[in-house]
Amino acid sequence: MAEFRPIDVNARFIGIGEYYVGGDAMTTIGLGSCIALILHDERHGVGAMAHVMLPESKGQTDRPGKYADTALVTLLEGLGAFGSRNGSIRAKMVGGANMFGFNDNNLNIGERNIEAVHNALKEKRIFLDAEDVGGKVGRSVIYNPKAGGEIVVRRADGVCAEL
C-alpha cells in the first residue's frame, strides 16, 4: 500500500512555479489545475520536478518552472549537468484538473496545461511513462529519485496510489 505523509517526509516542497533538480525527495501538495512535471533518470538516480501553472511563457523568463514550455527545457538543462541524456530520461505528470467543472476556456487552465506539457515532451522526444491527469480532483505528489523513481499520488479522499 502506497503511503503519503508529506509532513513526515523530509522532502523538498516545490511551490507554484518552482522547480528542483537533484537526488533529494521532492513533493508538491494540492495540485489543482497545475501540473507536476517529473523527469526521472534511472541510470543516474536523479530527477527533476516543476510545478507548472500555465501553458505558455509568452517571453517571460523570470520563473521557468511556471510555464510548460520553459519548465521542460529548464529541467532538461538541469539534468544535463548530472550527465543525463534525453535517451535515459522518462517523464511522468500529475495534475491538470478542472476543479470547478467549468467548460469555458477561462477557468479550464488544467486542460490547456496538460496539452502544453504533452506537446513540449513530444517536441523534445521525451518518453511519457505515466500520467495521472485531468478530472475534477486535487492531487498531492511525492517523488523520490533514489527509490527507483517511485512516485506516490494522494487524492483529496486520502486514497494513495503509486504512479
* Residues belonging to the active site: 34
Mask for 104-143, x = binds another protein (CB under 8 A): --xx-xx-------------------------xxxxx---
Q: Is there binding between residue 103 and another protein (CB under 8 A)? A: no
> In the complex with another protein, which residue's Cβ is closer, 100 or 127?
100
What span, in angstroms and rounded, lies between the C-alpha atoms of 109 and 34?
A: 8
What span, in angstroms and rounded, lies between the C-alpha atoms of 160 and 131?
A: 15
Range in contact with another protein (rule: CB under 8 A) among 12-20, 42-50, 72-80, 120-128? 12-20
Strands 127-133 and 150-155: unpaired
Q: Is there binding between residue 100 and another protein (CB under 8 A)? A: yes
What span, in angstroms and rounded, lies between the C-alpha atoms of 129 and 117?
A: 13
Backbone torsions φ then ψ of 110, nearest 5 degrees: -55, -50
Q: Which amino acid is at 66?
A: K
Site residues (vs another protein, CB under 8 A): 6, 13, 15-18, 28-34, 53-54, 60, 62-63, 66, 97-102, 106-107, 109-110, 136-140, 154, 156-157
